Structure 1
Amino acid sequence: MVNEDKVRIMTAMAREEKKYGSEITENMQFFKKDYVRSHVLAVLWSYTIAYLLLFFLIIFYNINYILLNFVVIDYLTVGMVMLFSYALLFFLCVLISRIHYLEKYENEHRILEEYYDNVLKLKKIYAEDGKETEDVNTAGN
């Protein structure tokens, strides 16, 4: 006889496994602080490279103007504007990525807790089924 509770729980577990895969279990190996810090550092590394690439693209695009006005350009002001814009966007990236990865960690943690709750429910159902089978076997003797 098919136990409907087991089928429902196993279907929910299979759906979660298919939807999230092993990504959640791999990410849950980290503490929250380490998980967020590693992802924020990856975002900042990518941001720094993108900022430098954009800076060099702007220089190459305006190379004619730079070479013609090499002596007249106020490099201190240009450097301060670049540094200020980099720092402002840097802190913005830290804030946004930190919030995003904290929420992502909490969401994945909640999903994993639900999955483990389903595992415990399934174990309980199997334990009860095993006990019933044992009772039937002993009653028949």
Structure 2
Amino acid sequence: MLNEDKIRIMSRCAMYEKAEGKEDLKINRYFQGDYVRLNVLKTLIGATIGFVLCLGLYVVLQSEYYMENFASLDLMALGKTFLFVYAIVMIIFGIISVMFYGWKYADAQKRIRWYYKDLNALSEFNEMEDK
């Protein structure tokens, strides 16, 4: 005989596994600190590449000015300005990514808990059927 509660739980588990369950189970393999640090590192590497590309574009667009005034430029001040802007960009991206990936991990953990509760309920249904 079919147990409607068991069928509901099984279908809920299957829908979860097909939707966000794949991503959540990947996230669940890490500790929270490790997951956040790994993704912050990826974000900072991507932001560094983007900053270097933007800096290169800026230099190319301003190359005429720099060629004409190269002798009178204060290269140390220009370098310090670029490093200051780089540091600000990295701090902003770092803070945002820590908050975002911390939230994402916590949200995945909530969904995983419900999934495991459903799996335990299925296990109990199977044990009751076996007896």
What band does the TM-score fall into relative to the shorter chain? over 0.9
Name which one, 1 or 2, has greater alpha-carbon Rg. Answer: 1
Alignment correspondent of 2:93: 93
What displacement does 1:21 show? Answer: 4.2
What displacement does 1:3 show? Answer: 0.6
Q: Distance in 2 between matches of 1:128 and 1:50?
A: 58
Q: Distance in 1 between matches of 2:65 and 2:100?
A: 41
Note the alpha carbon deviations across 1:65-102, whole angstroms, 9 max, x for none: 11011112222222222111111111111110000000
- What amino acid does structure 2 have at the position aligned with 1:35? Y
Q: Distance in 1 between matches of 2:45 and 2:94?
A: 11
Aligned residues: 131
- What amino acid does structure 1 have at the position aligned with 2:13? M
Note the alpha carbon deviations across 1:46-76, whole angstroms, 9 max, x for none: 1111101111111111111110111122222
- What amino acid does structure 1 have at the position aligned with 2:5? D
Alignment correspondent of 2:24: 24
- What amino acid does structure 2 have at the position aligned with 1:74? D
Aligned-residue sequence identity (percent) comes to: 33
Does structure 1 residue 128 correspond to structure 2 residue 128? yes
TM-score normalized with structure 2 length: 0.94
Please, which runs of 5 or more residues in structure 2 have no aligned partner?
A: none
Does structure 1 residue 44 correspond to structure 2 residue 54? no
Q: Distance in 2 between matches of 1:26 and 1:17?
A: 12
Alignment correspondent of 1:118: 118
Q: How does 1:44-63 map to 2 (within 5 A)?
A: 44-63=44-63
Note the alpha carbon deviations across 1:85-136, whole angstroms, 9 max, x for none: 11111111111000000010111111111111100001101111221xxxxx
Q: Distance in 1 between matches of 2:21 and 2:59?
A: 45
TM-score normalized with structure 1 length: 0.88
Which runs of structure 1 show a deviation greater than 4 angstroms over 4 or more consecutive aligned residues?
A: none
Q: Distance in 2 between matches of 1:65 and 1:74?
A: 13
Secondary structure in 2 matching 1:22: helix
